[in-house]
Structure 1
Amino acid sequence: MKKTLFLLRHGETLLNGRYVGSTDVSLSENGRAMITEMAMAMVFPEKNIEQIYCSPLKRCCETCELLQLNADVRIDDDLREIDFGRWEGMTFEELLEMDSSLVDEWERAGDSFCFPEGESIRDFGNRVDRFAKQIMEVEKDRILIIAHGGTLRHLLCTFLGLDPEKKMVFALQPGGLSEIELYDSGGVLTRLLNPL
């Protein structure tokens, strides 16, 4: 087996710099411009994308539409970002002010941590892993996945055989693109590109 996976993080949003998981926010003007520029620069058309998988959230669907690729698009609920619960829309500084003890627990607890009134890291990881298993069985060889920073970092770890706790080693900015050659024996990261 050999597949080429293109993992694209949606463009910048109206809530850039804040914790945004389940909040269904649109792209900012800058986010739309960065994705349009990417499409015009022909980053994808020459890649002969056969299949697109996209998160159902607005910022990803808008990113997909702006690329204007001629490929089948499947919306997959497992590609959603983690639900930050009551921390949605907040900055890290605001979290520290409101919930400093929970922020400390988040750093210590690993995947057993559950965001207050939101999703646990374990449940999030399980659903992203479920999507990864599905990709391994898809018969298409050139696949574009449009999703969120947390989702794509988890997928990168999964496909590259890394512990998901290492996910923050990937600096994947809004509009960032990574490329993986996926074999039966594992994956090889062949590209990691962030907008300037």
Structure 2
Amino acid sequence: MNIYFVRHGQTDENNNRYYYGKLDVCLNEKGLSQAKRAAAFLNRVKFDEVYVSERKRAVETADIILGHNFKKINIDKRIDEMDFGKFEGKSYEQIKKLYPEQWGKWCSDWKNESPPGGESYIEFYSRIRGFMEDILKLNRKNILIVTHGGVIRSAYCYILNDNLDFFWKFASKNGDITLVKYEYDNLYIDSITHVDV
């Protein structure tokens, strides 16, 4: 099985380095260009199944990649980005200034603490793990998953023996394409391609 993860194209919030997960925003011009490059890279792959986050930026990216060639897209909220609660739409500097105590707790225990009104990484990861377990039960050749950087990095943690400490050991850039293979009960990262050079 070939599992293709694509991170959505850039948004203005990415460009401004804001924390955002639940905010539903569209791709900017650069993001549209990244999605078109991902589409060109993947144009020869025949997908048997497609899963997309609920967020507009992911849906837009998937629409560009697939064109009108795919009938059924599975919108799955389990692969929405992490909910940052009151930290949403704010920069690192703004959060430190507005929520110094909560920011400090979150930084000292990023797995278990959650931003005010948001979700903890453990909560977030549990839905990604459940999603991955369901994907591995499918009998498909090529699966496309269009989602977010935090989701993809969490999928890497799942692949690397369910070790959450790997979350900070990988980047996931806008438009990146990761090919994960599942063969003989072995799950591994085959390649990571940056479409934006």
1:125-165 deviation line (CA, Å, top 9, x unaligned): 11111111110111212111100111111012112325122
Range with bigger deviation, 180-189 or 113-122: 180-189
Q: Is 2:27 aligned against 1:24?
A: no
1:43 — aligned with what?
A: 41
Q: Is 2:137 aligned against 1:114?
A: no
Tell me the SS of whatever aligns to 2:154: helix
RMSD of aligned residue pairs (Cα, Å): 1.5
Aligned-partner Cα distance in 1 for 2:100–2:191: 37
Q: Point out where structure 2 has 5 or more consecutive residues left out of the alignment.
A: none
1:149 — aligned with what?
A: 149
Tell me the SS of whatever aligns to 1:47: coil
Alignment of 1:85-124 (within 5 A): 85-124=85-124
Aligned-partner Cα distance in 1 for 2:4–2:45: 9
TM-score (norm 1): 0.91
Aligned-partner Cα distance in 1 for 2:179–2:161: 15
Selected match of 2:52 from 51, 54, 74: 54
TM-score (norm 2): 0.91
Q: Point out where structure 1 has 5 or more consecutive residues left out of the alignment.
A: none
The percentage of aligned residue pairs carrying the same residue is 26
Q: Is this contact kept in 1: 2:52–2:75, CA < 8 A?
A: yes
Aligned-partner Cα distance in 2 for 1:67–1:87: 31
Aligned-partner Cα distance in 2 for 1:133–1:152: 14
1:14 — aligned with what?
A: 12
Q: Is this contact kept in 2: 1:161–1:186, CA < 8 A?
A: no
Range with bigger deviation, 156-165 or 30-39: 156-165
Aligned-partner Cα distance in 1 for 2:44–2:19: 34
Q: Is this contact kept in 2: 1:35–1:67, CA < 8 A?
A: yes
1:89-138 deviation line (CA, Å, top 9, x unaligned): 01111112122332222222242111111112221111111111110111
Instruction: From the superposition, tell whether residues 184 and 96 of structure 1 become closer, same or farther in structure 2 (CA, over 3 Å).
Output: farther
1:188 — aligned with what?
A: 188
Aligned-partner Cα distance in 2 for 1:110–1:119: 11
The letter of the residue matching 1:109 is D
1:135 — aligned with what?
A: 135
Kindly tell me the number of residue pairs found equivalent between the two proteins. Answer: 192
